[in-house]
Chain A
Amino acid sequence: MSEVKTKTPISNSRIGDSAPRPDGIPKVKGTFAFSSDLWHEKMLWGGTLRSPYPAARINKLDITEALLIDGVHTVLTHSDVPGEAVYGLEHADQPVMAAEVVRYEGEPVAIVAADHPEIVRRALAAIKVEYEEMVPLTDPEIAESVGHIHPDGNVFRKINIRHGDQEIQGDIQVEGFYEVGMQDQAFLGPESGLAVPGEDGGVDLYVSTQWLHADQRQVASCLGLKEEDVRITLAGVGGAFGAREDLSLHVHLCMLAMRTNRPVKMIYSREESFHGHVHRHPAKMWYRHHADREGNLLRVEARVLLDGGAYASSSGAVIANAACFAAGPYRIPNANIEGIVVRTNNPPCGAMRGFGAVQTCMGHEAQMDKLAAVLNVDPVEIRLKNALKTGDQLLTGQIITGTAPVAEVIRTCAEHVPSYQKSSDLMSLPGGAGRTADPEHISRGEAIAVGFKNLMFSEGFDDFSSAVCHLEDGVATITCACAEVGQGFVTLAQQITREILGVEEVILAPAATETVGSAGSTSASRQTWMSGGAVQKACEEVRLKLLQRVTEEHEIGIDDLVLAEGQVLSLNGDFSISIDVATENPLEARVEYRHAPTFPLDENGQGDAHVSFAFAAHRAVVDVDPELGLVKVVELITSQDVGRLLNPVQAIGQLEGGAAQGVGLAVMEEVLVAEGNIRNASFTDYLIPTALDMPPVEVAAIIEQPEPGAPFGAKGIGEPPSISSTAAVVAAIREATNLELPRVPVRLTDIVSVEEPS
Chain B
Amino acid sequence: MPAALILMPVTVARSLDHALAALEECPEAIILAGGTDVMVQVNRGSMPVDQVVAIGRIPELQGWSREGDWLHLGAGVTYSEMMGEEISSMVPALAQASRTVGSPQIRNAGTIGGNLGTSSPAGDTLPTLFALEAVLTIRSSTGVRKLPINQFIVGVKQNALQPGELIEKISVPVLEGPQEFCKIGPRNAMVISVASFTLLTDVKESQVRSCLGTVGPVPIRPTEAENLLSNGVNWEKNKVSSEVLEAFASLCADAAQPIDDHRGSAAYRRHAIKILSRRAACRIFSEDNS
State the A residues within 8 Å of B (CB): 70-71, 115-116, 118-119, 121-122, 269, 271, 430-438, 441, 627-630, 632, 667-668, 672, 674, 679-680, 684-685, 687, 689-693, 747-749, 752, 754-756
Contacts and interface: CB of A to CB of B under 8 A. Distances in A.
A438 B44 contact: no
Contact of A687 (B100, B180, B191): B191
B182 A436 contact: yes
B208 to A, nearest CB: 18
Given A628-B275, A672-B262, A749-B265, A435 B182 contact: yes
Contacts of B154: none
Contacts, number: 118
A128 B283 CA distance: 59
Given A269-B43, A436-B276, A119 B188 contact: no
A303 B20 CA distance: 67
Contact of B190 (A121, A628, A630, A690): A690
B39 interface: no
Given A436-B184, A756-B267, A271 B100 contact: no
B183 A121 contact: no
Contacts of B181: 435
Nearest to B265: A749
Interface of B: 1-2, 5-6, 40, 43-45, 96, 99-100, 103, 180-192, 194, 196, 262-268, 270-272, 275-276, 279, 282-283
A430 B188 CA distance: 7
Contacts of B264: 748-749
A627 B275 contact: yes
Given A71-B5, A116-B6, A433 B262 contact: no
B129 to A, nearest CB: 18
Nearest to A679: B262
A690 B270 contact: no
A315 to B, nearest CB: 26
A431 B186 contact: no
Nearest to A688: B187
Given A71-B5, A627-B275, A754-B265, 14 more contacts: A119-B5, A119-B6, A432-B187, A432-B188, A433-B99, A435-B182, A436-B276, A438-B279, A628-B272, A628-B276, A674-B262, A749-B265, A752-B271, A756-B270
A690 B188 contact: yes
Nearest to A630: B184
A564 to B, nearest CB: 49
B187 A690 contact: yes
Contacts of B266: 756
Contact of B187 (A438, A687, A755): A687
24 contacts: A115-B1, A116-B5, A119-B5, A431-B188, A433-B100, A434-B100, A434-B196, A435-B181, A436-B275, A628-B272, A632-B188, A674-B262, A690-B187, A691-B189, A748-B264, A748-B268, A749-B264, A749-B265, A749-B267, A752-B268, A754-B267, A754-B271, A756-B266, A756-B267
Given A119-B5, A436-B279, A680 B184 contact: no
A754 B269 CA distance: 9
B254 to A, nearest CB: 10
B200 to A, nearest CB: 15
Among B263, B267, B271, B276: residue with most chain A CB under 10 A: B271
Contact of B189 (A70, A433, A674, A679): A433
**The 4 residue pairs across chains A and B that have the minimum distance between CB atoms:** A432-B188, A756-B267, A692-B188, A434-B183
Contacts of B265: 749, 754, 756
A752 B190 CA distance: 22
B1 A71 contact: yes
Contacts of A437: 279
A305 to B, nearest CB: 24
